[in-house]
Structures are given as C-alpha cells and as structure tokens.
Amino acid sequence: MTDDAPRRWGRRQLLQTGAVALGGAGAGWSAAAVALPAEHSDAPGAADDGATPYAASPGTSTVAFHGPHQAGIATPAQAHLSLLGLDLLPEVRAEGLGRLLTLISDDAARLARGLPALADTEPELATTPARLTATFGLGPRVMSDLLGSTVAVRALPAFRTDRLDLAWGQTDLAVQLCADDPMAVAHARRMILKDVSGFARVRWIQDGYRHAHGAVPDGTTMRNLMGQVDGTVNLAEAMPDFADLVWSDETGFEGGTFMVVRRIRARMESWDRVDRVGREAAVGRRLADGAPLTGTSEHEEPDFEAVDDLGFPVIDPASHIARARSADPRERFLRRAYNYTVPDPSRPSGEDSGLVFIAFAADVDRQFVPVQRRLAELDRLNEWVTTIGSAVYAVPPGAAEGEYVAERLLAV
C-alpha cells in the first residue's frame, strides 16, 4: 500500500482478506433474513438523524454512532457498562490498526442502529440496542509509537495512594460499550471481541452497572455501592463550558477527548464499621440526598467557611468534597462512572466491589491530575477506597458516515 492511498478498506474485502478469523459460514448469513424494525435502514449513506435516544420503547431507542464526537461520552449514562482493555498483537502496525478500526466502527454503527453486525452470528440479539454506544480509545503506545501522533496522551503520574495491579492497567486500546439492556451489551461485546480477535488480545474486561433505565428519574445522580450520591459536581452538555472542558481543539484531533479509567476498590468490610455521621463527615455530603453538610439540597454550593457552635468547620477540610473542590474552573471533567461487583468467595464479604471511575477531559494533565493529586495527598475517603487499576486513552473525534473512528489520525 502506498502512502497516498487512502487507508480505508471495504468491509467485505476485509472479511475475505483480513486477519480476522471468522466463523465458517458467518459472512454468508444474510442480515436481511432477520426481522428488523421497519424504520431502520441499512442503505449505504443512511443518515443517523433517525437516532431515537428516548423512544417509547427503551429496547429500540438508539444513539447515533456517527457525528463530530464519539457516542458514549456526552450521552447520558446508560444502565450497563462493559469496558474492554485490549493489547494489539506484536505484528499489528498502523495498517492493521486501521483494518481493526474499520471493522469495529462498521459493526458498532450497525449495532447502534439495532442492525446485526455484518457477520453477525446471532443477528436476532441485535434488535434491542437500548441506546447502545461504543466508544474507542487509543493508549499512549499506539498514539506515539504506532501512529507517531503529535497528540500526546501521557500516562498519569504515580499517586501515593494507588495500589496498581497490571491486570487492570494501561492497554493499547479501550472499547467502552454501554446500553440500557444487558443483552445489548453482551451481544455487542461478543461481536467486537470477535472483530478484534485477529488483531488484539483481551487484557481485562470491566463490567459495571447503575440503576436500570426507568428505575429512577432521568438525570438522577448515581449512587455508588457505599451508598453515596456520587458525581453531583459534574459537567452536562448543556453547560456553556462543556465543549471547552471535554472536546479537544488540538489540530487533527478536534472533537476528540481523553479518557481516564480508574478501578477503585471499596473496602466494604471496614466501611461497615463507620456510622452515618462518620460517613457523611468523610464525604462532606448527606447520605439521604447528597446535599452538602451546610445545605439542604444536592446541587447547592457547599459553604466551606461555615462553622458549628463550637467553631469547628461544618465540612471537614479533609473531606472528599473539600479536597476535590478547586477554585480553578478548569479543574473539572466529565464523570461517567459505574459500580462494579465481582464475586470473590475468598473475601470475607464474598465479593469485590467498587467503582469503575471513567472521566473525560480535553486536557487530563490540566483538568484531572491536580484534583487526583489533592485527593491522593489527603481525602478522608482514602481510608476505604483504593485505586487498583489506572489507564488513560486518547478518544478520537467521531467518525462521519462512511468513515471509521481515527481515520484522520491514521491518514496523516
């Protein structure tokens, strides 16, 4: 392939010639044999304008895959997460990465519309996308060594409170799958894992959950498994500075962003020994409604100057919200975390649980790192939570129709 040839591959050509190990008769299965909602169109160039984020049926609601930004970032968080950490095989270079991104962009776009993947082995499982989104991230090694990109994605600095396990560490690629239906996530995960199998190996899979869609009103701040309202201070697309804080304006990366993944284990056994007053003091918010200890409603501004009758601060300066807060409005980012639980009979509680913390920021070093550094220095919550996995990814801008994600990064 010459340098000026466009790095784009026809999907059917890839299926015939690519490195993908396909099931024997897979490509021969006709998606047309599957009963599909009439409003869906698989015609080339069909616009995604028909995206139906909150249709009457939660099963057939869709989120557009194509657009200036990847889906699954500004998208209101769905109920279920499956985050895949993948390492490219040693022989896969930029061209192979392009093939892989072509495959998974194509399948993710189909699945997001409620259409089967091209070589879908279980096409009937594709019919309830339930706001399925697939978001692709590229790790530091891929960006620098493989793509020679000027867009820097730097590893996070070491934080003294981290106890990192490489099994949950930095990978070459991340694929974040989210949907309101666990079956939609499971099917998309299987299709994407089959697409990547000739190109990459799975290092980890981090599954997570929030409330089921409809179980709490849309827009309710999530609760974590420690019982706290978690993520009150967050960005929302309607905010005037959302775009500035989330979308990159780096040349060639406009509309992209960066994703921080932190696996935060909660020590529920010791958390159990803390009473309600102690729990609220550690966070600085009331458990019942998430209001700051100086206020009466969740989104009220905390008053860090307020003192009680004895002259002590109402909100402990070492509490989580006091330490996380910054006077610098740039030290904010988009949080999109999920709870996790993994059965673990070896632990007294029978399970390992915590948070798959996911954050998006236009500039991780400027927006996320200072906050995390303060929390690592001092945060009363540190007694009960430990970060055991950490990774950071460049999340390329969204793909236009007929394009694959990161195509412009690979074309330079």
Interface positions, 245-284, toward its own copies (CB under 8 A): 268, 271-276, 278
Does residue 299 touch its own copies according to CB under 8 A? no
Does residue 219 touch its own copies according to CB under 8 A? no
Query: Can you spell out the DSSP letters for 188-222?
Result: HHHHHHHHHTTTEEEEEEEEEE-SPBTTB-TTPPP
Q: CA dist 328 to 325, 331, 361, 367, Å?
A: 9, 6, 15, 9
Give how many residues touch its own copies by CB under 8 A: 72
CA distance 16 to 200: 19
Report which DSSP code applies to 408: H
- Minimum CB separation of residue 163 from its own copies in Å reads 21
Judged by CB under 8 A, the chain residues 118 through 157 that form the site for its own copies are: 121-125, 128, 130
List all residues 6 or more positions away from 344 whose beta carbon is below 8 Å from its beta carbon: 350, 351, 352
- The residue (of 75 and 149) whose beta carbon lies closer to its own copies is 75
- Minimum CB separation of residue 12 from its own copies in Å reads 18
- Residue from the set 162, 195, 207, 280 that interacts with its own copies by CB under 8 A: 207
Judged by CB under 8 A, the chain residues 303 through 342 that form the site for its own copies are: 339, 341
Does residue 216 touch its own copies according to CB under 8 A? yes
- Minimum CB separation of residue 75 from its own copies in Å reads 17
Does residue 29 touch its own copies according to CB under 8 A? yes
Long-range contact set of residues 39-47: C-beta below 8 Å, sequence gap at least 24: 40/113, 40/114, 40/115, 42/110, 42/113, 42/115, 44/402, 45/401, 45/402, 46/401, 47/401
- The residue (of 210 and 408) whose beta carbon lies closer to its own copies is 210
- Residue from the set 9, 14, 59, 103 that interacts with its own copies by CB under 8 A: 59
CA distance 364 to 207: 24
Judged by CB under 8 A, the chain residues 96 through 125 that form the site for its own copies are: 121-125
**404 three-class SS:** coil
- The secondary element (H helix, E strand) that includes residue 271 is helix 268-271
- Minimum CB separation of residue 39 from its own copies in Å reads 17
**Quick one: which segment of 103-111, 156-164, 285-293, 386-394 binds its own copies (CB under 8 A)?**
285-293
CA distance 333 to 113: 29
**Quick one: which segment of 41-49, 76-84, 388-396, 403-411 binds its own copies (CB under 8 A)?**
76-84
Judged by CB under 8 A, the chain residues 337 through 396 that form the site for its own copies are: 339, 341, 343, 345, 348-351, 353
- Minimum CB separation of residue 292 from its own copies in Å reads 16
**Quick one: which segment of 79-87, 145-153, 232-240, 395-403 binds its own copies (CB under 8 A)?**
79-87
List all residues 6 or more positions away from 274 whose beta carbon is below 8 Å from its beta carbon: 282, 384
Does residue 166 touch its own copies according to CB under 8 A? no
- Residue from the set 223, 267, 330, 374 that interacts with its own copies by CB under 8 A: 223
Task: List the beta bridge partners of residue 386.
Answer: 265
- Residue from the set 12, 201, 299, 373 that interacts with its own copies by CB under 8 A: 201
**Quick one: which segment of 67-75, 136-144, 212-220, 304-312 binds its own copies (CB under 8 A)?**
212-220
Q: Tokens 């100086």 — which residue? A: 294
CA 225, 223, 390, 284 torsion-angle sign: negative
Q: For residue 299, give the nearest of 244, 229, 224, 217 by alpha carbon.
A: 229
- Minimum CB separation of residue 400 from its own copies in Å reads 30
CA distance 302 to 296: 10
- Minimum CB separation of residue 284 from its own copies in Å reads 17
- Residue from the set 99, 110, 113, 194 that interacts with its own copies by CB under 8 A: 194
**228 three-class SS:** coil
- The residue (of 276 and 373) whose beta carbon lies closer to its own copies is 276
Using alpha carbons only, give the angle 173, 179, 185 rounded to the nearest 5 degrees: 65
- Residue from the set 58, 231, 302, 398 that interacts with its own copies by CB under 8 A: 58
- The residue (of 90 and 343) whose beta carbon lies closer to its own copies is 343
- Residue from the set 6, 24, 45, 90 that interacts with its own copies by CB under 8 A: 24
Structural contact between residues 407 and 7, judged by C-beta atoms closer than 8 angstroms = yes
